[in-house]
Amino acid sequence: MELELRGITKRFGPLVANDGISLSVAPGQVHALLGENGAGKTTLMNVLYGLMQPDEGEIVVDGTPVSFNSPKDAIAAGVGMVHQHFMLVPVFTVAENVTLGIEQADRAGLLDRRRTRREVADLSHRYGLDVDPDALVEDLPVGIQQRVEIVKALVRQANVLILDEPTAVLTPAETEELFRIVRQLRDGGTSIIFISHKLREVQAIADTITVLRRGAVVGQTEPSASADELAAMMVGRNVQLRVSKEPAKPGAAVLEVTDLTVRGDDGRTWVDGLSFDVRAGEILGIAGVQGNGQTELCEALMGLRPSSAGTVTLNGRSLTRASPRARLRAGIAYVPEDRTEDGLVGSFSVSENLILDLYDRKPFASGINLNLPAIAKNATERISEFDVRTGSPATPAGTLSGGNQQKVILARELGREHKVLIASQPTRGLDVGSIEFVHRRIIERRDDGVAVIIVSSELDEIYALADRIAVMYEGKITGFRDPGVPAAELGRLMAGGADADPESAGAAAAVPEVAPAPGAATLLGAATVPEAPAPEAPVPDVTVPDVTVPDVTGPGAAPEPAPSHGPTLPPDPGDPPGPSAAQEET
């Protein structure tokens, strides 16, 4: 099916989200849409899928102009879409989700569940997707859920499949498996529109690349284009893909954690007797395969999750039983892992989100009233300082792009006095320009004497930012290392290997003044923590890691509470105060 978009324009009041965009997609082609956060990629695809109507322009299918007034029209024309946030009913089975809206009945007029299961199983097997039709969606890992979304599109005979940021929540193994599926669909004649801002992934999977910037097409190129060229096209300027920083000059310990233990509601120990400290003017990077207690550790440090044992002190003051509000007042800034759930109130304005933890204090409070002029002044200053791209401070935060939402959180947390910064997955889902901005701000905080903890599943990011690395495995720290550690050594520790360096086994390990890692990472945004140890390797050039990942998903496999295997590395590498935390993202 030949698909063409001609002069598509979509406006939201004074904001032009799509400005005369034209592109064509050939049969059996992977056409990548590359652009920074807020470039208009998802809006364009929502127009193509019938979720929005264009103000100008037309959609042409096989040479004939068509009008999609709803997704039903788009589906009937052979267009399917897998949204970044999956559109699945958690309590339904795979088969029920796949056939929702197109259910088939038997002669008695009852749902023919047996036929539905059989057809879903046959289709998924034909395309190598292999999902269990009887599995409940809520029990499936995100990689398998994504397969369900693809099967749902294919069962409706999609000839053009839109994948919107498909790797944003996938593990490396799941990403590699998705690429296999995309290639198989392409070879079968299906056209794929692959939306992303991750340069390396686009270079790996695309046949042709169209770059959007601020709602307009700025160019079309081949995947052979260099990362520097693609990054410059995305953001309209040269982007520093390598993090630059001076050697750390750590001072006294600011945050001290001793024998911290955190258990879940099910009794499982997520954090098991952890001890470490973070010094003024240093960045402690916590590495490890996701699901080994990193999230629970950050929540416990912020008082969002109770600890069952151990102590947390800040400059000698115990915060072990302190509330999240008290910890914020004590000088902890917190960038949560999930910005939409824990970092913002989506229906609140940008200006309101910027004072969520300060709304009851001067100058933003005047008695029992809010000081609206002071709130507006603060918003204007923060929006300018942190380059938040929004039409107005009154814009609901949930309508901003992911990168701009992250900037709002950073502006709020870094815009007040703090002694410790805890940032969990600070650049997840961000484009290269936003990653560069976030990294620069984190380095500035370190250089101002703030003690920084970075938790990231991006190995590139750990190598780039950390002055000292702690590796977590099954709730314990398996070792401390400096950023010059070979990837194979990190991999061994991430797999639960014993610490061969006795001096680094405790929190009192000396903090070396180290220069940036020899392979200081780039901002290409693809090398997430890989998954089974490999032989010793020299210090990696993380700029272009060549990660090999096994298929660990398995058909219909339920998620494990923690990984049973460690990382696979290439042999030659490389309760905050204020309103409710219930948020929404649009």
Render pLDDT for 345-399 as a digit per residue (tens, 0 to 9).
999 999 999 999 888 888 998 888 899 999 999 999 999 888 888 888 999 998 8
| pLDDT at site 571 | 37
pLDDT, mean of residues 277-297: 89
pLDDT tens column, 433-452 = 778 888 888 999 999 999 99
Does any domain span residue 325? no
Q: How many CB atoms lie within 10 A of CB 306?
A: 11
Does any domain span residue 54? yes
Mean of pLDDT over the chain: 80
| pLDDT at site 526 | 39
pLDDT tens column, 78-113 = 999 988 778 889 999 998 988 888 777 767 777 778
Q: What is the CATH number of the domain that holds 490?
A: 3.40.50
| pLDDT at site 340 | 81
Structure tokens at 400: 């901003």
DSSP-derived secondary structure for 169-202: T--HHHHHHHHHHHHHHHHTT-EEEEEE--HHHH
Does any domain span residue 584? no
> Whole-angstrom Cα distance, residue 464 to residue 314?
26
pLDDT tens column, 411-431 = 999 888 899 999 998 887 677
Give the SS3 label for residue 138: helix
Tell me, yes or no, whether 54 and 164 share the same domain. Answer: yes
pLDDT > 70? residue 143: yes
Domains held by the chain: number: 2
Tell me, yes or no, whether 113 and 197 share the same domain. Answer: yes
pLDDT tens column, 195-238 = 987 788 889 999 999 999 888 999 999 988 888 888 888 877 76
- Listed in sequence order, the residues at least 6 apart from 54 whose beta carbon sits closer than 8 Å to its beta carbon are 8, 9, 10, 18, 47
389 vs 171, higher pLDDT: 389
pLDDT, mean of residues 244-258: 91
Q: Residue 487 belongs to what H/E stretch?
A: helix 487-494
| pLDDT at site 7 | 95
| pLDDT at site 500 | 61
Question: Which neighbouring-strand residues pair with 29?
Answer: none
Tell me, yes or no, whether 146 and 249 share the same domain. Answer: no
Q: What HEC string does 200-212 produce?
A: HHHHHHCCEEEEE
Query: pLDDT class for 171, splitting at 50, 70, 90?
Result: low
Q: Residue 284 belongs to what H/E stretch?
A: strand 283-287
For 115, which DSSP code?
Answer: H
Contact between 428 and 343 (Cβ < 8 Å): no
pLDDT > 50? residue 19: yes
Contact between 456 and 256 (Cβ < 8 Å): no
Contact between 526 and 557 (Cβ < 8 Å): no
- The torsion of the CA quartet 270, 275, 279, 282, rounded to 10 degrees, works out to -50
| pLDDT at site 430 | 73
| pLDDT at site 501 | 59
Question: Which neighbouring-strand residues pair with 584?
Answer: none
Structure tokens at 511: 């903090």
Q: Choose one of 185, 214, 235: the last residue of a domain.
A: 235
* DSSP-derived pairing of the beta strands 317-318 and 309-314: antiparallel
Q: Choose one of 217, 235, 253: the last residue of a domain.
A: 235
Structure tokens at 158: 């999609």
- Listed in sequence order, the residues at least 6 apart from 550 whose beta carbon sits closer than 8 Å to its beta carbon are 173, 531, 532, 568
pLDDT, mean of residues 38-56: 90
For 271, which DSSP code?
Answer: E
Tell me, yes or no, whether 25 and 162 share the same domain. Answer: yes
CA pseudo-torsion sign 356, 360, 363, 365: positive
Query: What b/e sequence results for 535-553 when a residue is b if at least 16 CB atoms lie within 10 Å of its CB, and e otherwise?
Result: eebebbbbbebebbbeebb
Tell me, yes or no, whether 148 and 270 share the same domain. Answer: no
Tell me, yes or no, whether 553 and 478 share the same domain. Answer: yes
Give the SS3 label for residue 112: coil
Distances (CA, A) of 351 to 15, 99, 333, 374, 397: 19, 43, 18, 10, 9
Contact between 471 and 293 (Cβ < 8 Å): no
Of the chain, the percentage scoring pLDDT greater than 90 comes to 38
Which range has the top average pLDDT, 170-174, 334-338, 509-513?
A: 334-338
Tell me, yes or no, whether 134 and 154 share the same domain. Answer: yes
Calculate Rg over the CA atoms of the chain: 24
Q: Residue 223 belongs to what H/E stretch?
A: none
pLDDT, mean of residues 445-461: 89
Does any domain span residue 79? yes
| pLDDT at site 241 | 57
Tell me, yes or no, whether 460 and 560 share the same domain. Answer: yes
Tell me, yes or no, whether 228 and 252 share the same domain. Answer: no
Query: pLDDT class for 400, splitting at 50, 70, 90?
Result: confident
Mean pLDDT lowest for which of 14-23, 333-342, 544-553? 544-553
pLDDT, mean of residues 305-328: 93
Count helices and strands (H / E) in the chain. 16, 22
pLDDT > 90? residue 140: no
Q: How many CB atoms lie within 10 A of CB 24?
A: 15
Residue 39 lies in domain: 3-235
Tell me, yes or no, whether 230 and 274 share the same domain. Answer: no
Query: pLDDT class for 580, splitting at 50, 70, 90?
Result: very low
Does any domain span residue 116? yes
pLDDT tens column, 507-564 = 333 333 333 333 344 444 433 333 333 333 333 343 333 333 333 333 333 343 433 3
| pLDDT at site 172 | 65
Contact between 574 and 545 (Cβ < 8 Å): yes
Tell me, yes or no, whether 187 and 45 share the same domain. Answer: yes
| pLDDT at site 360 | 87
pLDDT > 90? residue 138: no
> Whole-angstrom Cα distance, residue 448 to residue 446?
5
| pLDDT at site 242 | 65
**Residue type for 34, please?**
L
